[in-house]
């Protein structure tokens, strides 16, 4: 049995025979509010994996470097081992979630331009907001790396807005993670409705983890619809 390297909330990461490759296994667990709300939802892991593969394949085709090597099954991916920056990189197009809570702006307000925010990845600290100069001074990433990460995050946003719009979704906001492989910064982790906000273009209903956070319906059915709409397009 492969050695478990990291047990996450939605995924486990295992060692493989190769020192520079890892196995990422999607789980059926859904969590919110930093793990305070937790449930097993059968089928969720497979859906997240499949949606993430669609998004990553599209990004790779459009020149974005990622850790993905190949998909091994409907819930397993082989990825390059990377030194992950302990940063959650959030991009926003429309005001929602913590931005609304912080600034009391209207939920759904279209932003003048996309926002990029960094949060320091720490369950113990509840992922606090961290600014560029703190990231640099605390040696989490240097200035050049910070600029590159922001540039990539905005490029990914410009690629994903039309990708989701074609399936009648507004891409409200999302979270990315980056790591370093042999000196090169690449996109890591996943892209699924667990880490983005997708609103139906007509009804403006949430088609993402807010359904679970706000008890708005069946999360697995919602993710199934997201996958179908993305695949059928």
The site for ligand C5P (CB under 6 A) is made up of: 88, 90, 97-99, 127, 173-175, 195-197, 209
Tell me the C-alpha distance between 201 and 233, whole Å.
Answer: 15
Find the shortest distance in angstroms from Cβ 18 to ligand C5P. Answer: 29
Find the shortest distance in angstroms from Cβ 208 to ligand C5P. Answer: 7
Question: Closest-CB residue for ligand C5P?
Answer: 97
Does residue 67 contact residue 188 with C-beta atoms inside 8 Å? yes
Task: Report the residue number, 51 or 90, with the smaller CB distance to ligand C5P.
Answer: 90
- Strand pairing class (169-181; 129-130): unpaired
Task: Report the residue number, 25 or 196, with the smaller CB distance to ligand C5P.
Answer: 196
Task: Report the residue number, 67 or 197, with the smaller CB distance to ligand C5P.
Answer: 197
Tell me the C-alpha distance between 204 and 51, whole Å.
Answer: 20
The three-state secondary structure class of 217 is coil
Specify burial of residue 131 (Cβ count, 10 A radius: 0-12, 13-18, 19+): exposed
Find the shortest distance in angstroms from Cβ 143 to ligand C5P. Answer: 24
Find the shortest distance in angstroms from Cβ 195 to ligand C5P. Answer: 3
Task: Report the residue number, 15 or 28, with the smaller CB distance to ligand C5P.
Answer: 28
Does residue 45 contact residue 27 with C-beta atoms inside 8 Å? yes
Which of 43, 21, 14, 24 shows the shortest CA–CA distance to 191?
24
What's the CA dihedral at 232, 53, 217, 11 to 10 degrees? 160
Task: Report the residue number, 76 or 173, with the smaller CB distance to ligand C5P.
Answer: 173
């Amino acid at each position: 049995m492969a050695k478990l390297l990291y047990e996450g909330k939605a995924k486990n990461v295992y060692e493989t025979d190769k020192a520079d490759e890892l196995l990422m296994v999607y789980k059926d667990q859904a969590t919110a509010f930093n793990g305070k709300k937790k449930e097993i939802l059968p089928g969720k892991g497979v859906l997240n994996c499949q949606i993430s593969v669609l998004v990553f394949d599209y990004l790779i085709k459009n020149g974005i470097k990622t850790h993905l090597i190949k998909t091994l099954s409907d819930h397993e991916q082989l990825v390059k081992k990377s030194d992950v920056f302990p940063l959650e990189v959030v991009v926003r197009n429309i005001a929602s979630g913590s931005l609304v809570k912080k600034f009391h702006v209207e939920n759904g307000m279209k932003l003048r331009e996309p926002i990029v925010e960094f949060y320091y990845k720490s369950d113990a600290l509840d992922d606090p907001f961290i600014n560029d100069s703190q990231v640099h001074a605390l040696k989490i990433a240097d200035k050049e790396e910070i600029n590159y990460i922001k540039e990539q995050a905005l490029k990914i946003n410009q690629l994903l807005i039309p990708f989701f719009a074609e399936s009648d979704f507004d891409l409200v906001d999302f979270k990315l993670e980056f790591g370093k492989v042999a000196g090169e910064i690449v996109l890591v982790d996943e892209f699924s409705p667990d880490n983005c906000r997708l609103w139906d273009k007509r009804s403006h209903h949430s088609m993402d983890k807010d359904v679970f956070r706000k008890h708005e319906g069946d999360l697995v059915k919602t993710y199934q619809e997201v996958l179908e709409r993305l695949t059928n397009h």
